[in-house]
Structure 1
């Protein structure tokens, strides 16, 4: 039995402006119609003996995770909500505790990031089968990526003695090297990239954590024991979880244990750590990659990703351009790893471009801001079939609703009525109101807000099917 565990946190910095704090890269559809998270969970489901997955994410992303699992046809998943980020070691401990409770201590827990790409599924499955045999003997097994190039952005792991079940003992973990050392590592054939994926028996990891950091295990155990169910989610106890020391699984356990093993993985792996991952995509005869409405002229080794409009490039070389509706990134290819510096500046200035897109996803659907002024704001609102917003009111704004497509059920004060296409209504300031889609097709409407303050925090919820009421 293998219990897939997807670590689905993320700050949305490395693939900005496409990823944002409210919509990090695991939710992006970068290669086809499936997001990175959906690819990961479908990949996990291809393993023999795999149970429904456990996903660990923060509260802000819980409905995004649930919706993407639904779209991927995944049933029976357990979604655990971290009260705050504490790095990977506490998250893995939580996963092992839950897996042990559900499936027993001998269950093999497969820790994987939700935002990685793997091109060769058959090679992935084959390496996992070897890792499962190694882990069944009590080893804490990690996967080492066969280096494809000299890379300074990854940590390395040196292989030790070969193991009879397959794989190798771990001789040493090595921090990200400079170019000269990275070349020596790759040339030697003794080193693999550190993938951040792990496979071990739940009890094996818990025993080792008890030996190395009993305080962390105690805090995590209490957090699971005192967890509360909220709709389809499990909320870990906040006070207990925050008492766990923040640390990575590498530093807390893997670099200290004498039970570490490594299994090579050569399956087209990429951690999608920066826009330089586009360099592995199919390119034209001059080394250019483009996505979306792009026109390239006399350019070389240039990577352009367009989301919403024509991007024309003339005479560029070694440049990355990423366009979204509200922000455009232009950087030298060699500086793609430094995008997070721009995001840090945006956050320090409290710019909304660091946090969210113009399209904001909600459990009931989405809204898009399409025009703003000093005392007005216009939004396009999409409500999914048979979903409804909270019963709410605003202190500082009134609203006009115009139905474009579908049927709306409107509550306004003590009245409830239906609106069809091309019909509209007015929601006075201070009135309790609710919008609902009672039909079987998407409801699309235009909302015009007017008032002295139009912030999203001007909302009082009285009733909400998603548990967000005040």
Structure 2
């Protein structure tokens, strides 16, 4: 079995720590019982899956905005980059063509699909692995994994069994019913739909052929924007007649709001903060250096990042998405990249020029891409570390206190000999990410020289 890990979403419900590029699965707020360190949801899921399947049997499907964060948190893992966000059917279809064209997977082998943001025990992924044999032995068109409901939720889809012995024969689906309807479904033996799929690779490829799309990876990349913008459930699963499912009665949770996320956090304060003794069941998550103190407020979340500040009682945190129309979600002020991270410190416009100030950390052994900008100049101040600065091919060593000026259209980069932090001031008529022209550079030669 090959596993496709779906990593998407914009993380609006966990603002201000999550944003359009840093979705909820990248927030390092969960306790890793093995290392004692904090880890993200995607790190937890990948670690758990690695205990069940070989890492070589996993690929991750994501959008371009998340590639650097995945590399930063998971290392050099196989990643399929969707040309644009088009829901789960196009994402899974593209990943299947990659498995066929690039890895040589055969049509009669099983593909599994899981998301990277579920909070479960390892036993859940052992059940996912068991779906491979279930689909092969029953000849089913699709294998699913049902979760035993713990309450009548209106947030999840439900699997309605037609027959339930050693495994479930799925009769029909009910998508996000009211709580009243959900109560009746649970009483009749329904299960939550976990969003796990298992199917023959050839089945997905044949579907593409029926829809007159290519079965080859590179060609489907070019056709991607024409694929139906639809979920895998609606486009594929609900149109099948022979669907089987295994059931899972263990721990399973969607950490989609601050309320549910903090229930799984072992630390009440992450970052620079403090709680009074009478602030019960309150959590602080602070990514800034400024101190945050909470006095006499219980059952609340205080989340602080460069994107903004959220103060909410826990039940109300589920309404975060309703505030989208109020303009909270502008450009991301903090992002993780393959080389480290950056945080926006200030933005202003003077004399018909934009001025954007950032703080960047480039990790030891990492480098910024060799690049130039058409519409802005930059000034870098080295505040810590040691690095090799490259300007139009010329290499110089830089240390704390050094200042370098980078005119527009000048090729430049930086390689960190030690963890290096810089203050970067961008000035020009357009200080946008799109104004980056990346070039090739002989980094192996630089590393040997150092």
TM-score (norm 1): 0.80
Answering whether residue 414 of structure 2 is matched by residue 436 of structure 1, we say yes
The corresponding residue for 2:310 is 329
* Residue range with higher mean Cα deviation, 82-91 or 312-321: 312-321
Cα displacement string for residues 54-74 of structure 1 (whole angstroms, at most 9, x for unaligned residues):
21111222222233221xxxx
User: Where does 1:51-450 land on structure 2 (aligned, <5 Å)?
Assistant: 51-70=56-75, 77-101=77-101, 102-118=104-120, 120-121=121-122, 123-137=123-137, 138-139=139-140, 140-162=142-164, 166-186=166-186, 188=187, 190-207=189-206, 209=207, 214-215=210-211, 218-219=212-213, 221=215, 224-226=217-219, 236-237=221-222, 240-278=223-261, 280-281=263-264, 291-292=270-271, 293-296=273-276, 298-299=278-279, 302-308=282-288, 309-316=290-297, 318-346=299-327, 353-357=329-333, 359-375=334-350, 376-384=355-363, 385-393=365-373, 395-411=375-391, 416-427=395-406, 429-430=407-408, 432-437=410-415, 439=417, 441-449=418-426
Report how many residues are paired.
425
* Residue range with higher mean Cα deviation, 385-394 or 38-47: 385-394
Tell whether the 8 Å contact from 2:386 to 2:397 is kept in structure 1 after alignment.
no
| Distance (whole Å) between structure 2 residues aligned to residue 464 and residue 330 of structure 1 | 45
The corresponding residue for 1:231 is none
Alpha-carbon RMSD across the aligned residues, in angstroms, is 3.1
Question: Cα 1:419–1:313, aligned 2, differ >3 Å: closer, same or farther?
Answer: closer
| Distance (whole Å) between structure 1 residues aligned to residue 434 and residue 90 of structure 2 | 36
| Distance (whole Å) between structure 1 residues aligned to residue 301 and residue 44 of structure 2 | 25
TM-score (norm 2): 0.83
Question: Cα 1:23–1:159, aligned 2, differ >3 Å: closer, same or farther?
Answer: same
- Match of 1:432, SS? coil
| Distance (whole Å) between structure 1 residues aligned to residue 41 and residue 167 of structure 2 | 27
Structure 2: runs of 5+ lacking an equivalent: 32-37, 443-450
Tell whether the 8 Å contact from 1:131 to 1:167 is kept in structure 2 after alignment.
no
Tell whether the 8 Å contact from 1:407 to 1:421 is kept in structure 2 after alignment.
no
Note the C-alpha offset of 1:435: 2.8
Tell whether the 8 Å contact from 1:8 to 1:57 is kept in structure 2 after alignment.
yes
| Distance (whole Å) between structure 2 residues aligned to residue 458 and residue 156 of structure 1 | 42
Question: Cα 1:220–1:173, aligned 2, differ >3 Å: closer, same or farther?
Answer: farther
| Distance (whole Å) between structure 1 residues aligned to residue 49 and residue 439 of structure 2 | 37
Question: Cα 1:268–1:406, aligned 2, differ >3 Å: closer, same or farther?
Answer: same
